[in-house]
Structure 1
């Protein structure tokens, strides 16, 4: 009987052999998982901190940088897109022609333009090339020089007018009233437009 056989057990329950079960320490999986999670969190915080430092030095994504950009927009205006126009209405001679089937439009428009300070030339029906062939509000017709100032000044009096040049050498400009013409622009609006032409406001350097 083996020395490991309990007394009184007889020989029925014997522990034989020379190998015994080994007692292993339980694996600490919980600690391994916690360590992995802690490493991931640490890496995430490090990345987030790096992005914050980049934002601080580059000025992206912060309220302070947005305020700075807005201040820059106000501090660095662009020059006006078009140069100012010093030409006055009294320096422009306008020929008013009616290209519609309605009578009296040319005279009425010419009288109103005269009240607004324009010099009036010829008044009557439109030439055959334009008679009843102008679908819009009207056409401003003049020589190449008219594009430098006369067109821009006269266009303040008629919204939606089209600009067209011809080969004339004179400084006068034709206003040909089209089918869609109803009335000249309100005087207060045209006066405001004329003031803007004389002193155009600068455009901002960026959208604020």
Structure 2
């Protein structure tokens, strides 16, 4: 039996060497496959299922059209920054007749000085509401502040011209008194 040992490596050593070669070869093939996939993805040869469903690789985007904000969705406070008595009350009634959700009408609690027709004060949540009101009062200056609600303030200035009456207002009583 001495000739087996002198002829070369033992059987266990040959198996270990073969196993090591197979494992290293498998890891090398896997590493090459991962790099090839990453390169193909980077070059755009491979895409997501959404892009391939589009046909020619065109990206199809579905957007939901959000309904624009309506006046009844706009909560507004009307403040008078002038010396004209009752201006805020009359303007609040006119806004209410046009469908706006009027919360308060009073003198300006901040006692700000308004140059021009009006200021519309709003926070980040009320930017869309301010734009809706700005369509009605285009001469107003938009002023963003730090409030966290969607409620906006319309602060009337000396150049503010009152809204004309709506014809439907004459046929419908607008008072909430008990004379109905």
Please give the TM-score of this superposition, normalised by the length of structure 1.
Answer: 0.46
Q: Pairwise mapping of residues 20-169 of structure 1 onto structure 2 (< 5 A)?
A: 86-130=68-112, 133-147=113-127, 149-169=128-148
CA distance, structure 1, for counterparts of residue 153 and residue 67 of structure 2? 19
Structure 1 match to 2:150: 171
Q: Secondary structure at the match of 2:136?
A: coil
Structure 1 spans left out of the alignment, 5+ residues: 1-82, 189-208
Please give the TM-score of this superposition, normalised by the length of structure 2.
Answer: 0.52
- On the 8 A contact 2:126/2:149 being kept in 1, the answer is no
Structure 2 spans left out of the alignment, 5+ residues: 1-64, 168-180
CA distance, structure 1, for counterparts of residue 131 and residue 164 of structure 2? 14
Displacement of 1:144: 1.4
Structure having greater relative contact order (Cα 8 Å, sep ≥ 6): 1
Q: How many equivalent pairs are there?
A: 103
Q: Secondary structure at the match of 2:121?
A: strand
Deviations 1:68-127 (A, max 9, x none): xxxxxxxxxxxxxxx986101111111000000110000000000000000011110012
CA distance, structure 1, for counterparts of residue 98 and residue 129 of structure 2? 15
CA distance, structure 1, for counterparts of residue 161 and residue 75 of structure 2? 22
Q: Secondary structure at the match of 2:148?
A: coil
